[in-house]
Amino acid sequence: MEQSVIEILNLTKDYGDGRGIFNTNLIVKQGEVFGFLGPNGAGKSTTIRNLMGFIRPDGGSCKIMGMDCYLEADKIQERLGYLAGEISFIDGLTGKQMLDFIADMKGIKDKSKMHELMQHFELNSSGKIKKMSKGMKQKVAIICAFMGEPDVIILDEPTSGLDPLMQNKFIDLILEEKKKGKTIFISSHIFEEIERTCDRTAIIRKGRLVAIEDMKSLNKRKKKSYIITFQSIEQANQFLREGFDIIDQKDKQITVAIQGDINPFIHSLAHYEIKNLDIKIETIEEIFMHFYGEENQAGGDQHDRKGTV
Ligand SMILES: Nc1ncnc2c1ncn2[C@@H]1O[C@H](COP(=O)(O)OP(=O)(O)OP(=O)(O)O)[C@@H](O)[C@H]1O
């Protein structure tokens, strides 16, 4: 069985007035890329600050590689890469000086990975940090998180400020690191980045986990709908009687949801004069937005909607 690398057990950090995180349970396994999604103020950074040992939990605990995140933070950090949600660098240094400074602080002697990542992200590191754009600083922070070849990497909104090209380069990096067996925890607002990189994703809302989804099975469960425009209203009305799951009708246009075998639908359509046929596949964002709503509070356990752990 895969080893648990990150374990969050009944974790509570209560800031009062319902703010913070409450009775959160979460396990991230060796080699897993795990997404952490939630609206503003949901408790993502609070969870990450607990994982980093920056704050002491009010209840429960968290462990990384079997070590307590608060009590053994120093030991954990020797094998951990971290990117903070709010980056603070020393303004007077150049990008390169900052990277060298962090590398020295972490005792990184082999800087080949650092140079490789500087090339990958096309970072011009000769300018002073204070004159860098948000995106450039973000690149420096990403390089800092990965350059020591850590076993575990925790990233708090890693692509904030990056342009789409650089976001893609970030996704490539995550997929490469995943191949090497790294365990990666990413908090994000960007659905596409989560969809393309993560094995599983947790949704947090108002300090509580509302779902943990396996991304492969989520993809399989994406609903498909077909928008058919018939030649005549008579044909459209006749099709209504075929017994398919009709989502919408606007005159000659009918939207049908099909799950599973598509053949009965295709065979049925063959009997009609069709003007147009469009296919709409539910996006991950549409599926997840369902969990962001008020009515979906499900408590803080590790079970997803199908009850699997
Ligand atoms: N030190 C603190 N003292 C009091 N309240 C806090 C403190 N830190 C966070 N909070 C509150 O806890 C809640 C969760 O904050 P957190 O920063 O974890 O959210 P988040 O999910 O990371 O949000 P965002 O996406 O906006 O970064 C918020 O209501 C926030 O105001």
pLDDT for res 166: 95
Over residues 37-43, the mean pLDDT reads 90
Find the 43 Cα to ligand 1 centroid distance in Å: 6
Average pLDDT rounded to a whole number, residues 28-46: 93
Between the CA of 112 and the centroid of ligand 1 the distance, in Å, is 37
User: What separation in Å is there between the alpha carbon of 22 and the centre of ligand 1?
Assistant: 13
Q: Which is more confidently placed, 90 or 251?
A: 251
Question: Considering the chain, what is the average pLDDT of its residues?
Answer: 89
Q: What percent of the chain has pLDDT over 90?
A: 72
Confidence grade of residue 293 (pLDDT, cut at 50, 70, 90)? low
Question: What's the per-residue H, E or C state across 4-53?
Answer: EEEEEEEEEEEEECCEEEEEEEEEEECCCEEEEECCCCCCHHHHHHHHCC
Average pLDDT estimate for 293-304 = 45
Tokens read off for 118: 């500087």
Distance CA(303)–CA(309), nearest Å, equals 5
DSSP class of residue 129 equals G
| Residue 125 or residue 14, greater confidence | 14
What is the per-residue pLDDT for 85?
86
Residue 294 pLDDT class (50, 70, 90 cuts): low
- Distance, in Å, from the CA atom of 274 to the CA atom of 268, rounded to the nearest integer, reads 11
Nearest to 195 by CA among 214, 180, 176, 221: 214
Give the model's pLDDT for residue 301. Answer: 39
pLDDT value of position 297? 45
Using CB distances shorter than 6 Å, the residues near ligand 1 are 15, 19-20, 38, 40-46, 85
103 contact partners, CB below 8 Å, separation of at least 6: 111, 114, 147, 148
Quickly name the fold that domain 224-281 has.
Alpha-Beta Plaits (3.30.70)
Ligand 1, residue 21: give the atom nearest the CA.
Answer: 14
Report the alpha-carbon distance of residue 24 to residue 13 in Å, rounded.
10
| Tokens 């603070």 -> residue | 88
CB 225 within 8 A of CB 255: yes
- Do the domains at 4-79+151-219+287-296 and 224-281 have one common CATH topology? no
Q: What is the atom index within ligand 1 of the atom nearest the CA of 207?
A: 14
Q: What is the pLDDT of residue 145?
A: 96
Query: What CA–CA distance (Å, rounded) separates 224 from 156?
Result: 32
Give 255 or 299, the one with higher predicted confidence: 255
Q: Residue with structure tokens 């605990």?
A: 61
Q: Above 50 in pLDDT, residue 239? A: yes
Interval 288-292 mean pLDDT: 75
For ligand 1, atom 16, which residue shows the shortest CA distance?
A: 43
Which residues 6+ apart lie within 8 Å of 116 measured at CB?
Answer: none
pLDDT for res 187: 95
3 state DSSP class of 260: coil
Token pair 């400020």: residue: 161
**Stretch 169-189: mean pLDDT:** 95
Decide: 83 and 155 in contact? Cβ < 8 Å: yes
DSSP state of 2: P
The answer to whether the CB of 162 falls within 8 A of the CB of 139 is yes
Q: Is the pLDDT reported for residue 308 higher than 80?
A: no
The mean pLDDT of 162-167, rounded to a whole number, is 94
Dihedral class, residue 23 (left if φ above 0, else alpha if ψ from -120 to 50, else beta): left
User: Residue 77, CB half-sphere, CA atoms under 13 Å: how many?
Assistant: 16
Identity of residue 50: N
- Determine the pLDDT at residue 1: 57
Whether the predicted pLDDT of 232 surpasses 70: yes
Strands (DSSP E) found in 170-220: 183-188, 200-205, 208-214
Beta-bridge partner residues of 21: 13
Q: Which CATH number fits domain 4-79+151-219+287-296: 3.40.50.300, 3.40.50.1460, 3.30.70.20, 3.30.428.10?
A: 3.40.50.300
Residues 6+ apart with CB under 8 A from 54: 73
Q: What is the DSSP letter of 154?
A: E
**In the chain, where the domains are located:** 4-79+151-219+287-296, 224-281
Q: What is the pTM of this model?
A: 0.84
More confident residue, 87 or 66: 66
Q: 240 C-alpha to center of ligand 1: Å? A: 50
Give the model's pLDDT for residue 140.
94
